[in-house]
Amino acid sequence: MNTDSRLMHFPIPFFAVVMGLSGFTIALLKSEAMQLLPLHAGNLMAAVTGGVFLLIALVYLAKLLRHPGAVRQELHHPVKLSFFPTVSISLVLLSICTLHSQPALAEALWITGSVAHLLFTLYVLGAWINHEHFQIQHMNPAWFIPVVGNILVPIAGVPLGYTESSWFFFSIGLVFWVVLLVIVLYRVIFHNPLPAKLVPTFFILIAPPAVGFLAYLKLGGGLDAFARVLYYTALFLTLLLFTQYRKFTRLQFFLSWWAYSFPLAAITVATLAMFEQTGDGRFQALGLGLLALLAAVIVLLLVRTAIAMGRGEICVEE
């Protein structure tokens, strides 16, 4: 397959790689800030993640310029449509990664990412409302990304001084999380199982309550009853998915495996935050255990992605 053909089939879900690396970076930075790790790799990982984002963004821009029809097809695809907001989410995550080391850059990334994500949210919701071809079997946990991704915004938004804007985005994400969760559960319980390629997206279920917990703490809610509900919901979903490990370990590698990474990072950071709030050593042990697992998953995903790219199994026509 020639280079131009691979460019035409370069998939928008590639930005999920940036989300996974950003989540790992934030987990490292959190551990280092709490003096739980002797390493100082967080800022280095932030730089690496930023470089990966630029590389993927440039390749996708080349695809847009050379094959605009292929991009339009993804914009109208019932599954791939939900991955376009991973671009804006990546910018918001990078703003979190650079919040303390480069606040001016973090603010620029946050503003750009937040505005872009609002536009993506409006576009995707409009597509859902005015659709003519979506069916219940198209529904999968990746549909959380466009709307529920708003819940990330306060994590950097509040420290940067954008409190009311952060409440705006948090409200959108929280309300639509509940709505979409009901639809996802209805789809997986009463209809055919998800295709193997989409099974890893089940891990996305962990992210909304875990990130919501972190955002709520930033908004000043403190460790109250609602915060605990969010955290323990995320923890329960993590346990539920871990009991299904045989289902996940039997899967052929797809780029969708990157759906494991960011949700694992979210519950890791949320658990470390619980230790910070409570001082309970059990959360410390769990948080460090999850961090070790996350690091192993990131290494596995990088290796498997490199192998798949070398074999020409990615960027091919589906």
In whole angstroms, give the CA distance from residue 203 to residue 181: 13
Lowest mean pLDDT among 4-8, 149-153, 231-235: 4-8
Task: Tell me the average pLDDT across 227-252.
Answer: 94
Lowest mean pLDDT among 32-36, 101-105, 264-268: 32-36
How does DSSP classify residue 77? -
CATH topology of domain 3-310: Glycosyltransferase (1.50.10)
- Among residues of the chain, what percentage have pLDDT more than 90? 80
Tokens of 78: 């019932």
User: How far, in Å, are 160, 292, 296 from residue 289 at the CA level?
Assistant: 31, 5, 11
How does DSSP classify residue 37? -
- Which amino acid is it at 59? V
Instruction: Using pLDDT thresholds of 50, 70 and 90, give the confidence band for residue 312.
Output: confident
Q: In sequence order, what E strands does the chain have?
A: none
When the pLDDT of each residue in the chain is averaged and rounded to a whole number, the result is 93
117 and 176 in contact (C-beta within 8 Å)?
no
Asked if pLDDT for residue 45 goes beyond 60, the answer is yes
Lowest mean pLDDT among 53-62, 126-135, 156-165, 304-313: 126-135
Tokens of 318: 């589906």
User: How far, in Å, are 93, 149, 286, 292 from residue 27 at the CA level?
Assistant: 12, 18, 13, 10
The backbone torsions φ and ψ at residue 170, rounded to the nearest 5 degrees and listed phi first, read -60, -40
Q: What is the pLDDT of residues 148-184, one digit of tens each?
A: 899 999 999 999 999 999 999 999 999 999 999 999 9
In whole angstroms, give the CA distance from residue 5 to residue 249: 31
Task: Tell me the average pLDDT across 278-293.
Answer: 96
Q: Please report, for the chain, the start and end positions of each structural domain, with discontinuous segments joined by +.
A: 3-310
Cα–Cα–Cα angle for 254, 54, 23, nearest 5°? 60
Nearest to 288, CA basis, from 42, 93, 32 = 32
The pLDDT value given to residue 164: 97
Angle 15-33/281-310 helices, nearest 10 degrees? 150
Nearest to 88, CA basis, from 8, 35, 22 = 22
Cβ-based neighbours of 120, under 8 Å, separated by 6 or more: 84, 85, 87, 88, 146
Q: What is the pLDDT of residues 51-88, one digit of tens each?
A: 999 999 999 999 999 999 999 999 988 889 999 999 99
Asked if pLDDT for residue 1 goes beyond 60, the answer is no
